Structure 1
Amino acid sequence: MDALREAIRSGRLVPGTRLPPYRTLALDLGIARNTVAEAYAELVEEGWLTARQGSGTRVARRAEPLTPDPSRAPARRGRLRVVHDLKPSSPDASAFPRADWTASVRRALAAAPNEAFGVGDPRGRRELREALVEYLARARGVRTRADRIVICAGFAHGLELLCGLLDGPVAVEAYGLPFHRAIIERSGLSTIPLDVDPYGARIDSLPATNANAVLLTPAHQYPTGGALRPERRAAVIDWARATGGLVIEDDYDGVFRYDREPVGAVQGLDPERVVYIGSTSKSLSPALRIGWMVLPARLADRVAEAKGQRELVTGVVDQLAFADLVARGAYDRHLRRARKIYRGRRDQLTAVLAERASHIRVSGIAAGLHAVLDLPDGTEQAALRAARRQGLALDGLSLYRHPDSAAKPRDGLVIGYGTPSEAAYSAALDALCLALPDDPDDER
């Protein structure tokens, strides 16, 4: 009780914040449910909390907000300490397969020819490109040869190389990563938004854009979560063939599917019309800086030339180690373990929200390492402020919206469940529930 009083007094729990149900808090703390119920009742009597049937227990609303204790204020004004990281940015760093990676480094160093430590091929090490040919065909339905693959430092690097070879506008999904749009625009190209719906990008509006290329996340639209439906996949290939346009496929988390079989890459429909780009940023770690571009024949030499005559981006040892990891099946085993971990976290997220915030709809959860929480209109910014007060780092859906999109904006939160460690995840979800807006029906 003292901790709750202090949290309310200091402003860490703001008026109107809904507290966890008796049973949930009792389980989290390992105490009897009656103990929690008695504590809540006492705090209600003292005026710290309010309790109403159907609305749960909340921090009491006051005429004047409580003033935080200056001695507990953050060291720098305007900045709150991040306690829980739910940014949709990276996998769980603690899940990196250290033992397998160490074994692959040793095997790679022992087997590497002397020339591997000289001037590098801008396409990257052939050992890795050959391993990727087999793996991508088996896992993602990609059709290619080793001389059509260029190793890069990740999707952003691959996109930057590609944009230097493009002319004219590039169509992009109306919701997508802002820094990807920035890379395109820094190259002197304009971006034109395509609306998205639960089935991915609206390809039917692509011809009217007069774009020469289109950037898509077809396996799992980022961030809204839909998979590009089959007729739209066929339509974008028809568009590319009819116009000479180029499809840029960002397969950022195509290996993480939970509720249905993996959706193959669009590239397999026409390897000469699609540039397929993947990386280890989500599957292993963004720290490795290993990515791959699978290119049409007409672009492979030009991209390698644009990259430069020396391999100065991804280290040779990392390339050789990853090639060994893939070739001996250790990468597949890691992905199977990771899918189990992340599916469990997704299931925990949906279960907690169903219990504590059933009015919040969760979408985009069939794959990947993030989910979208749809919020009532006009509540996103308030939810972000509440999240900051709870020490949560997360994104609002509006961050990803193309500024020129004509579609009605959606309010939502983009929740990454990959980053927290197993030990920290439950506490992060508790904090998330406290930051969510109330059910409008409870206020009637």
Structure 2
Amino acid sequence: MTESWVNYAARIGADLHLELSGPGGRRAALIRALREAVHSGRLAPGTRLPPYRSLAADLGVARNTVADAYAELVAEGWLTARQGSGTRVADRAEPLRGTVRTPVNVGRAARARGPRHDLRQGAPDASAFPRAAWATAYRRALQDAPSEAFGPGDPAGRRELREALAEYLARARGVRAEPDRIVVCSGFAHALRLLFGQGAGGVLRGPLGVEAYGLEFHRKLLSAAGVRTIALPLDEDGARVDVLGRERAVLLTPAHQFPTGGPLHPERRAAVIDWARARGAVVLEDDYDGEFRYDRRPVGALQGLDPERVIHIGSVSKSLSPALRLGWMVLPERYVGPVLEAKGEREGWASVLDQLALAEFIVSGSYDRHVRHMRQRYRRRRDRLVAALAAHAPHVEVTGLAAGLHAVLRLPPGTEWSTVKAAAWQGIALDGLAAFRHPAAGTGADGGLGDGPDDGLGDGLGDGLVVGYAAPAEHAYGAALEALCGVLPPG
């Protein structure tokens, strides 16, 4: 049987008829021509393109012109390049049907539909929410709620929840808590707004020390409140708290540094408490992913070292769902009154009924059972990610695996931006490390992170991806891993 042209072309590399015309020089013209050939269907998915030298000779252009054009189209997701397989048309590239649309419009339409594979950090598996157990807790809480629960609430939050949290946090996280020191809020961002307010009217004031890598959303929230943030260098032992000076407070993720993944070293935990005592300052502890650890012993809360110098902040956004909008602060005694005043008598609090349901969920043991179940589930997810990378991208180093809901994939220098862009074109939502870097952290040989180019961190934290493995539904996770491996740069 005669071999089809598509199969033959995919095997040997296709001869191409390309018209190089238009503004921008030969490289721009070649990129436009190749896009048009793929987009129109003249180059089918999987078609192997000619080697650089062959196409350059056919078109009468420099070899580097072809190489640059291929690299740009790989970054945009039109082509794929793997060692031993050459450069091919990406499987997801589709020919035109009906009216003509530009590649830009195709990208916009894909983004409007949402990602095919959500590998962003910070999101739990929404399909794993314990609906039946939560409904049982909600019904029981509703039946047992006193009539006064349906009237004006307590700014501190329902007593039932604060008592349940005090017992749970002491048992599971080593927090030294009393119900009267706990203020219920709607999450970590709400806690920051209550603590820093607007301008000089907040409970706390800057300057505030923060880790050199963290969530941009939190930095913008603080900036809007007029709080100046100072980036603390990072190394393999966590934040460099030894560089703290005249800051009035410091915000840390000591159980699981975000996004690098390691805990704050015990000596640094003690050192930051000593600094806070000496300066009359306070430590804000974001207990990020404190409950999800896999290959290490539990790391207790920093607050247990000195409850009068640490504000412990937690939520159920990772352990249950961000949709519940429930969090808490465990406060030093001197801050309880000012925080309640900032919260106000008629502030938009978290739902009283949700608070009662969470209290019942914790007291009944359902919360512990759910966390244990999800810890096992996420560990399996993490192991599948590691196995897929070992099989298909063994040159990619994976770090931050001992706890949490994401991993950090180290990439060759200069490849982060193009990899994130290629992933977006393939319908994969994920983040590059650079998205989390503090603007003042620097990007030199040390990047403000560590002691120099020999600290293993290089230019900042180097190029990398922050890959969340919790969000995809179980049935879609295998396809998400396959897609991820397909866009990683070759070794």
| Aligned pairs (5 A) from 1:160-175 | 160-163=193-196, 164-175=202-213
Q: Which amino acid aligns with 1:412?
A: G
Shift of 1:58: 4.5
Trace 1:221-232 onto structure 2 (pairs within 5 A).
221-232=257-268
Is 1:376–2:376 an aligned residue pair? no
Q: Which of 71, 76, 79 does residue 97 from structure 2 map onto? A: 71
Give deviations 1:350-378, integer Å, cap 9, x for gaps: 11101110111111110000011011111
Note the alpha carbon deviations across 1:370-408, whole angstroms, 9 max, x for none: 011011111001101110122100001100000101323
Q: Secondary structure at the match of 1:366?
A: coil
Matched residue of 1:71: which SS?
A: coil
Distance 2:44 2:434 in 1: 27
Give the TM-score taking structure 2 as reference length. 0.77
Q: For residues 49 and 225 of structure 1, do their structure 2 counterparts lie closer, same or farther at Cα, with a shift above 3 Å needed?
A: closer
Q: Is the 8 A contact 1:169 1:191 kept in 2?
A: yes
Cα distance in 1 for partners of 2:165, 2:45 equals 49
Q: 1:294 and 1:67 mapped to 2: Cα distance?
A: 52
Conserved? CA contact 2:107–2:425, under 8 Å: no
Give the alignment partner of residue 309 of structure 2, picking from 265, 269, 273: 273
Match of 1:94 in 2: 127
2:192 counterpart of 1:159: yes
2:443 counterpart of 1:422: no
**Against the structure 1 CA distance between its residues 260 and 11, is the aligned structure 2 distance closer, same or farther, given a 3 Å change threshold?**
farther
Q: Contact 2:208 / 2:230 at 8 angstroms: preserved in 1? A: yes
How many residue pairs get aligned? The number is: 400
Secondary structure in 2 aligned to 1:70? coil
Unaligned runs of 5+ in 2: 11-37, 50-78, 197-201, 448-458
Which segment drifts farther, 327-336 or 70-79? Answer: 70-79
Matched residue, 2:368: 332
Supply the distance in 2 between the matched residues of 1:170 and 1:274 (Cα, whole angstroms). Answer: 14
Question: CA RMSD, aligned part only?
Answer: 2.6
The answer to whether the 8 Å contact 1:10/1:68 transfers is no
Partner of 2:356: 320
Contact 2:184 2:327 in 1 (8 A): yes
Q: Indicate the residue corresponding to 2:166 in structure 1.
A: 133
Corresponding letter in the other structure for 1:421? A
Partners of 2:226 and 2:357 in 1: how far apart? 37
Aligned-partner residue type, residue 394 of structure 1: L
Q: Which amino acid aligns with 1:194?
A: L
In 1, Cα distance between equivalents of 2:320 and 2:302: 23
Contact 2:251 2:286 in 1 (8 A): yes
Taking the aligned partners of 2:487 and 2:44, their CA distance within structure 1 comes to: 13
- 2:220 aligned to which of 163, 182, 191: 182
Are the aligned partners of 2:45 and 2:89 in contact in 1 as well (CA < 8 Å)? no
Q: 1:11 to 1:232 in 2, by over 3 A?
A: farther
Q: Distance in 1 between matches of 2:48 and 2:387?
A: 26
Of the three residues 177, 182, 198, the one matched with 1:149 is 182
In structure 2, the CA distance between the partners of 1:184 and 1:10, relative to structure 1 (3 Å rule), is farther
Residues in 1 aligned to 2:400 and 2:81: alpha-carbon distance in whole angstroms: 35
Q: CA deviation at 1:60?
A: 3.8
How far apart, CA to CA, are the structure 2 residues paired with 1:67 and 1:135?
51
1:8-28 per-position Cα deviation (integer Å, ceiling 9, x unaligned): 967877979xxxxxxxxxxxx
What is residue 20 of structure 1 aligned with on the other side?
Answer: none
Instruction: Please tell me whether Structure 1 or Structure 2 has the larger radius of gyration of its CA atoms.
Output: 2
Deviation digits for residues 149-208 of structure 1, max 9, x if unmatched? 00000000001111121223001000000011111111111000001112211111112x
Q: Which amino acid aligns with 1:260?
A: R
- Quote the residue 2:385 is aligned against: 349
1:12/1:272 CA distance change after superposition, 3 Å: farther
Letter of the 2:470 partner, please give it.
Answer: G
What is aligned with 1:42?
Answer: none
Which amino acid is 2:209 matched to? A
In the alignment, is the contact (CA less than 8 A) between 2:44 and 2:89 conserved in 1? no
Instruction: State the distance in 1 between where 2:359 and 2:375 align.
Output: 21
Shift of the 172–15 alpha-carbon distance from structure 1 to 2, 3 Å rule, reads: farther
The residue number in structure 2 matching 1:196 is 234
- Taking the aligned partners of 1:285 and 1:13, their CA distance within structure 2 comes to 40
Contact 1:390 1:434 in 2 (8 A): no
Contact 2:155 2:349 in 1 (8 A): no
Distance in 1 between residues matched to 2:189 and 2:313, nearest whole Å: 10
For 2:438, the aligned partner's letter is H
Question: Equivalent residue of 2:434, what SS?
Answer: helix
2:346 corresponds to which residue?
310
Counterpart-to-counterpart distance in 2, 1:130 and 1:387 = 46
- CA distance in 2 between partners of 1:352 and 1:398 (Å): 24
2:292 touches 2:375 (CA, 8 Å); kept in 1? yes
Distance 2:314 2:271 in 1: 22
| Aligned residue identity for 2:389 | L
Q: CA deviation at 1:254?
A: 0.2
Q: Which has the higher contact order (CA 8 A, sep 6+)?
A: 1
Q: 1:14 to 1:379 in 2, by over 3 A?
A: farther
How far is 1:257 from its partner?
0.5
1:411-441 CA-to-partner distances (Å, cap 9, x unmatched) read 11000111001100000000000110110xx
Contact 1:49-1:60 at 8 Å conserved across structures: yes
User: What corresponds to 2:85 in structure 1?
Assistant: 57
Equivalent residue letter for 2:418: A
d(CA) in 2 for partners of 1:182, 1:133: 31
Residue matched to 1:437: 489
1:219 maps to 255
Q: Deviations over 1:110-142 (max 9, x none)?
A: 110000010011100000000000000000000
Regions of 4+ moved over 6 Å: 1-16, 48-51
* Matched-pair identity in %: 58
- Output the TM-score relative to the length of structure 1: 0.85
